Amino acid sequence: MTREISYILLTLTILLSACTQNPDFEPYEGRTLRIAIIGEPPEVNAEQVKFNEISFDELTNEELSSFDAVIMSEKNLPKAAEANYTETYSDSSIPFFFISASSHIPFTVKDTEYNDSWKWEAGKSYAVGVLKSKKNDAFHSWGYGLYNDELTDESIRDVYSRIFKTIDELNH
């Protein structure tokens, strides 16, 4: 009887320890990407991703034509949600990604005010992306959650890696 209990305890210990290990996040290993960013560039493990800081004044199709995507940092989300930028996102030929935003709605629907209800919280997306298709006028959006809803440097880097993979796939 004690042998069976010991075996069960050993099995449970192995199973529980396997569940608590950190996952192996896949780094981005695709082609070189040029990304415009409004805000501070993130620390990522992808040497082939080049960030260029831009201002809101540079959000024109001409200025953005040399980039693969645009990323809005968290502290710039209130300004990014202003109504005068809605058409910029919907008319763009490259995707826009909003960090620490749970939905694209305040950025793509005019007269929708950005407030704390649109910010990331556990159980929601940590980042969202949008791109309007030129082929059929369909609006594409993506949501990226954090691993176990934990706001850690590692899980944030994983979100960026998945964003980079999406950008790479869009260009193929």
Alpha-helical runs (H) found in the chain? 2-20, 61-64, 77-80, 86-91, 105-108, 153-170
Number of separate domains in the chain = 1
Whether residue 4 is predicted with pLDDT greater than 70 in this model: the reply is no
Q: Is the pLDDT of residue 80 over 90?
A: yes
> Is the pLDDT higher at 117 or at 34?
34
Give dist(CA 81, CA 100) in Å, integer. 13
Q: Is 73 exposed, middle or buried (0-12, 13-18, 19+ CB in 10 A)?
A: middle
Q: Residue 167: what pLDDT? A: 96
**Residue closest to 165 by CA, chosen among 121, 127, 119:** 127
- Print the domain residue range for 91: 2-170
pLDDT per residue as tens digits for the range 36-50:
999 999 989 889 999
Per DSSP, what are the bridge partners of residue 143?
128
- At 7, is the pLDDT very low, low, confident or very high (cuts 50, 70, 90)? low
Per-residue pLDDT tens digits for 131-161? 987 777 788 999 999 999 888 999 999 999 9
Q: What is the mean pLDDT of residues 92-111?
A: 89
Residue 103: what pLDDT?
A: 86
Predicted model pTM: 0.83
